[in-house]
Amino acid sequence: MLNNKMTELLKIKYPIIQAPMAGGVTTSKLVAEVSNSGGLGMIGAGYMTPIQIRKQIQEIKQLTSNPFGINLFVPNDFNVIENQIKLSNQILDPIRQQLHLHQKDGFEIPNFREVFEIFTEQIKVVMEENVPICSFTFGIPSKEVIAELKQANIILMGTATTVREAVENELAGMDIVVVQGSEAGGHRGNFIDGNQESLVGLMSLIPQVVDNVSIPVISAGGIMDGRGLMASICLGAKGVQMGTAFLTCLESGAHQVHKEAILNANDDQIVLTRSFSGKWARGIKNKFILEMQKNEKLLPDFPVQNTLTHDIRKSSATQNNQEFMSLWSGQSPRLAKNQTVESLIKSIIGEAQKLNLGI
Amino acid sequence: MLNNKMTELLKIKYPIIQAPMAGGVTTSKLVAEVSNSGGLGMIGAGYMTPIQIRKQIQEIKQLTSNPFGINLFVPNDFNVIENQIKLSNQILDPIRQQLHLHQKDGFEIPNFREVFEIFTEQIKVVMEENVPICSFTFGIPSKEVIAELKQANIILMGTATTVREAVENELAGMDIVVVQGSEAGGHRGNFIDGNQESLVGLMSLIPQVVDNVSIPVISAGGIMDGRGLMASICLGAKGVQMGTAFLTCLESGAHQVHKEAILNANDDQIVLTRSFSGKWARGIKNKFILEMQKNEKLLPDFPVQNTLTHDIRKSSATQNNQEFMSLWSGQSPRLAKNQTVESLIKSIIGEAQKLNLGI
């Protein structure tokens, strides 16, 4: 009953994808365990170097013979504005003090050419290592990159937050489109529409996208159990991509403080912020978000702000202090559990089968 | 298959409630036709005088013998700040000029005591006329009001945007709770949580609420067809409340310009604004919203701002000019159709039965 065009295309048993969370969450163990349990494990490689990527791919191949995937960030040009950086550091310095960090004068501000070169290298590794599935966030790669990957028989998945973005993904040749509802944790994937316009809830987003594209649609955002899977299927999706639900699993590499923060959070504590990275993202409200809130819109672009807050996030994590970490979470923290990947997937399928939808 | 505790309680055939949209949308014909078609028609009486309410209830009783309901706004205290009113008028005056309206010096600013007295009168009429179902937005009425209505055997429905608000509704004695997802058109119903925290999508909101209350949960926001109904049921709701889907029906009293704006809108044109009324609400982006955006957060509270913009909204409607009307809409305008209520309800039930969910 749960087999469809999407599971066939990805050669997986269940229509469940583990969201490619960046920043160390998607350990080889997590990715392999998801694939071994019948879902699709994904490496969140957005911030990884080509060397790290190759190493992790090879590790995962040792742990599973099932398909797995990888996600890359499509580089977008960004502004580097001296005054924004100054302002940001003025606000960040008192926070650094609280964490006993040195104030920063100079920064290695990323530049677009470097970011783009890393992306090109990342793509090369994905091809050389024959990763069967590659997904993209923050945009659509160039025609040339898409052609190369398709030539190598790699299944491509794009990310969309509106109908327009989904249609663009289909036109560009993506095999599958992941629609990210406003419920989703972590970074917003919008790349055409503005932030407000792209905050569409899945109840609205899935059917409108399904009516306007012919490739399989995967829903992402706030889905944690069999109820969310079956609701997505009713709305026309072929499967789900789940982040937060996997983040709190035993096999995930998320910091223990992050896992516990989600397990203890309520729905009304999850907010949007651009203070950590310069890009809008959803997570648990903490001191950092509250202190940055007033100036949120004046902060530097992604990835500049991300670079500026790096020391703070890192030191906060080392000190087990949840107040200055980016505690990404979708809007359903009350449904999160600390369990193994296997038991998560089994319980989703069990619940879905109890709902007994004859489609 | 679609009968449950909620349809039993409300004595209706299908688990479909027509949202009580205020401002002239819920004509007697619309309300009666929904109830005659097996759903629950609702009068959006928030802005109506007790005399208007009594007249409409009596009209509807002539048109249907099935149950119908009424919705009232729970009055909340508000600030009247001279400088905010001045600022708002400074921005509104150029718009008035475009519409050939006189500039305004004085205003009849509403005061809380008057608003509260009207509410008390509204409740009296509901009881005297024996309306079988009464729902509330923007808060929970006092214990005394709830006790009186329950004494009269009136079924009570509250509105919630978060788990916390849903729990408060149950504790107060509401028989049913309508959960309003971030997808919903028109005014946000949050009354405890702030605006950002309460913008929870239905995929997250329904299951988290269902897990925390024992009264039936109705989902509202972006639901337009059988897919949305069945998805809601998968997530644990007992039924749906639909606004935009009924607003574009032939029987609705919405302005033709408003109906056409929805029928022509895309998902990425629907935004949140507090510029029309002082309370956050969702509708189609137009000139008014764009011109007010910069100062949005500095505008007076509801209902003060609502009073200030009254002449503009009215004149814009009279001139068939959609640019300065409040074009409320949920996030699924692409799914809207111009059809009769009967055919909308029939097609929802037909689609839902095709999905064939054995629950």
Q: Tell me, what's the pLDDT at A147?
A: 98
Smallest Cβ–Cβ distance between B208 and the set A219, A271, A332 belongs to A332
* Residue B3 pLDDT greater than 80, yes or no: no
pLDDT at A357: 63
* Highest-scoring range by mean pLDDT, A194-203, B197-206, B289-298: B197-206
A304 has a pLDDT exceeding 70: yes
Chain A residue numbers with beta carbons less than 8 Å from the beta carbon of B219 are 203
**Residue A309: band (very low, low, confident or very high) from pLDDT cuts 50, 70, 90:** very high
Report if residue A359 sits inside a domain. Answer: no
Helix H segments across chain A? 5-10, 28-36, 50-63, 82-98, 112-128, 143-151, 163-171, 202-210, 226-234, 244-247, 256-263, 287-292, 304-308, 310-318, 341-355
Note whether B335 contacts A207, CB cutoff 8 Å. Answer: yes
Q: Which helix (H) or strand (E) holds B241?
A: strand B239-242
ipTM > 0.90?
yes
A78 found inside a domain? yes
pLDDT of residue B357: 63
pLDDT at position B72, please? 98
The confidence score (pLDDT) of residue B106 equals 65
Residues of chain A with C-beta less than 8 angstroms from the C-beta of B163: 266-268, 334
Cα–Cα distance, B20 to B31 (Å, whole number): 9
Best of B165, B195, B203 to disrupt the A interface (most A CBs within 10 Å) is B203
Give me the CATH number covering residue B42: 3.20.20.70
Q: How far is CA B71 from CA A171, A277, B20, B188, B196, in A?
A: 46, 43, 6, 14, 25
**What's the pLDDT score for residue B135?**
98
pLDDT of residue A105: 65
Give B359's pLDDT tier (boundaries 50, 70, 90). very low
Which residues in A lie closer than 8 A to residue B270 (C-beta atoms)? 197, 200
Tell whether A155 is covered by a domain. yes
pLDDT band at A359 (very low <50, low <70, confident <90, very high): very low
What is the average pLDDT value for chain A, to the nearest integer? 95
Rounded mean pLDDT of A164-188?
98
Pairing assessment for the beta strands B186-187 and B281-284 based on DSSP bridges = antiparallel
Q: CA triplet B187, B193, B194: central angle to 5 degrees?
A: 70
Stretch B137-155: mean pLDDT, rounded? Answer: 97
Q: What is the pLDDT of residue A194?
A: 81
> Is residue B216 predicted with pLDDT exceeding 70?
yes
Best of B235, B268, B334 to disrupt the A interface (most A CBs within 10 Å) is B268
Partner residue facing A268 (CB), from B197, B203, B207: B197
Report chain B residues whose CB lies below 8 A from the CB of A163. Answer: 266-268, 334
Q: What average pLDDT does the structure give for chain B?
A: 95
What is the arithmetic mean of pLDDT over B238-249?
Answer: 98
Would you state the pLDDT for residue B141? Answer: 98
Q: A202 CA to chain B: closest CA distance, Å?
A: 6
- The pLDDT assigned to B355 comes to 85
Q: Which domain holds residue B54?
A: 5-355
A317's torsion region: left (phi>0), alpha (psi -120 to 50) or beta? alpha
Q: Which range, B71-85, B176-190, B288-302, has the best average confidence (pLDDT)?
A: B176-190
Q: List the structure tokens of A185.
A: 């944790």
**Chain A residues in contact with B285 (beta carbon < 8 A):** 197
Q: What is the mean pLDDT of residues A183-205?
A: 93
- Per cent of chain A over pLDDT 70 is 97
Peptide bond into A303 cis (omega under 30): yes
Confirm if B16 and B39 have CB atoms less than 8 A apart: yes
- From chain B, the residues in CB contact with A219 under 8 A are 203
Express each pLDDT in B251-274 by its tens digit.
999 999 999 999 999 999 999 999
* Pair A339, A315: CB distance under 8 Å: no
Give the separation between CA B271 and CA B286, rounded to whole angstroms: 10
Number of domains within chain A: 1
Residue A340: inside a domain: yes
Name the percent of chain A lying above pLDDT 90.
Answer: 90
Shortest CA gap B37–chain A (Å) = 24
Q: Quick check: A156 pLDDT over 70? A: yes
Provide the pLDDT for residue A103. Answer: 79
| Secondary structure of residue B17 in the 3-state scheme | strand
Cβ–Cβ below 8 Å for A272 and B196: yes
pLDDT digits (tens, 9 = 90+) for A30-70: 999 999 999 999 999 999 999 999 999 999 999 999 999 99
Average pLDDT (B312-326) is: 97
In the structure, what pLDDT confidence band is assigned to residue A196 with cuts at 50, 70 and 90?
confident
B208 CA: distance to closest CA in chain A (Å): 6
> Count of residues for chain B?
359
Q: What are A231-268's pLDDT values in tens digits?
A: 999 999 999 999 999 999 999 999 999 999 999 999 99
